[in-house]
Every structure is written in C-alpha cells, then in structure tokens.
Amino acid sequence: MLEWGRLTGKKIVFGKDSEVSGLVIGCEIEIGRNAEVERVIGGRVVIRRGAEVGYVEAHSVLVERGAEVEELRYVKDAEVYEDALIHLKTKISELSEKIVCEE
C-alpha cells in the first residue's frame, strides 16, 4: 500500500491493484483496474474497471464499468458507465484546490 499525506503531479498513474491512501492532486490522474484510492482531485480523472475510490473531485471524469466511487464532484462533465456505482454525484462550480494545467 502506498501511503501519502498528499501527492501532487502533472500526470499520475496508479497501476492495476494499487492501494493508495491520502490525497492525490494532478492534472491527469488514472486509477488502474481494481485499484483502491482514498481521495483524488484532478483536471481529468479516469477510473478503470473495478477500481474503488472514496472521493473524486475533477473538471472531467470517466468512471468505467464495475468501478465504485463513494463521492463524485465534477465541474465540466462526468461520464459514468452504466454499471459503475456512484453513491453521491454532484456538479460543482470549481475545484477545492487550484490546479494549473496546460490545455
């Protein structure tokens, strides 16, 4: 298990079956299949099949089938596959953390 208080970066990828606790902040974040991640704030977040995430906050997010997210907050768009499980989904006006990304 990877344990951080706070991890920041431009592009962050957690591979298949990763376990991460703490807050992850980045422009692009990908959470691999069957990974478990506690908290994510990002520009573009992709959550692969079977992954479990406690909290996601993003400008744009994709949640693949079989993934589970406790709380999803998004600014621009949230594409959620039909059999993904989102417990709470909310559209927000801006992220709680300032993230500077090149568009």
Give this prediction's pTM: 0.92
Confidence at residue 15, expressed as pLDDT on a 0 to 100 scale:
92
* pLDDT of 1 above 80: no
Residue 82 lies in a domain: yes
**pLDDT tier for residue 3 given thresholds of 50, 70 and 90:** low
Domain presence at residue 99: no
Determine, yes or no, domain membership for 74. Answer: yes
Domain limits at 13? Answer: 2-91
Q: Domain for residue 28, yes or no?
A: yes
Look at residue 66 and tell me if it is in a domain: yes
In this predicted structure, the answer to whether residue 49 has a pLDDT above a threshold of 70 is yes
Render pLDDT for 52-101 as a digit per residue (tens, 0 to 9).
999 999 999 999 999 999 999 999 999 999 999 999 999 999 999 998 88
Say how far apart CA 73 and CA 94 lie, in whole Å.
10
Query: 99 phi and psi, to 5 degrees?
Result: -120, 125
Count of domains observed in the chain? 1
